[in-house]
Amino acid sequence: MQTHALDEGVFIRSVGARGSFGGLSRATKEIVRLYDAFGFDTILVETVGVGQTELSIMEVAHTTVVMLVPESGDTIQTLKAGLLEIADIFVVNKSDRPDAAALQIQLKEMADHIPVLMTQAHQGVGIAELYENIVKHYEGLMKDADRLEKRRAQERKVEFTEILLNFFKKEYISKLDTKEVESGKKDPYMAAQEVLKKLGVM
């Protein structure tokens, strides 16, 4: 990214996740919307990593690329559910390393409908094919009105939920007295029930 930071038409912004469970801060989603309104042709969002807790990227990106390296092979099974839910395209980077081909096969067996590409980013190998697959997926999504509207409906639902959660976190959760829970005098589950009863939720 540093080599392109000063290119014409390119703007790069680093944003902290700020403890968000989904891997993206609320600000990131708002920034993406702002960039789109400003007229940027392409917006790339890089998350801090990949896993079952990083599903928020699905509510932001039209096409989600999950990039792995050969060393990821041992963790594939533990990440399986999250990876399959996130990915539109899999990429095995550093494909010149041992076990890269085995990882590609393993990914294909997990999801035969998802492209699994091999790249060597530092050499530029496979990048053109990756770009072509991203464009193909995006164009396919744009042509499928029902699928696109379902995704946008989900985005609006998630945003609505996050606004409420952020409000409750700020107005209620941050002000809770947790000393008895921290000391072990109260069970966390029972303490949570007490708070919910006070709020009239239970």
pLDDT digits (tens, 9 = 90+) for 97-133: 988 998 888 888 888 789 999 999 999 999 999 999 9
Q: Give the span between the Cα atoms of 94 and 121, in whole angstroms.
A: 7
Tell me, which fold does domain 2-161 have in CATH? Rossmann fold (3.40.50)
- What are the residue boundaries of the structural domains of the chain, listed by start? 2-161
Rounded average pLDDT over 159-167: 83
Does 43 have pLDDT greater than 90? Answer: yes
pLDDT in tens, 65-95: 988 888 765 556 656 656 777 789 999 999 9
> What tokens appear for 159 in the block?
């945003």
User: Residue 171's pLDDT band (boundaries 50, 70, 90)?
Assistant: confident
Does 50 have pLDDT greater than 80? Answer: no
Q: Give the span between the Cα atoms of 37 and 126, in whole angstroms.
A: 31
Does 141 have pLDDT greater than 80? Answer: yes
Residue 97's pLDDT is 92
Q: Give the span between the Cα atoms of 22 and 136, in whole angstroms.
A: 27
pTM summary value: 0.74
**Are residues 33 and 56 in contact, defined by beta-carbon separation less than 8 angstroms?**
no
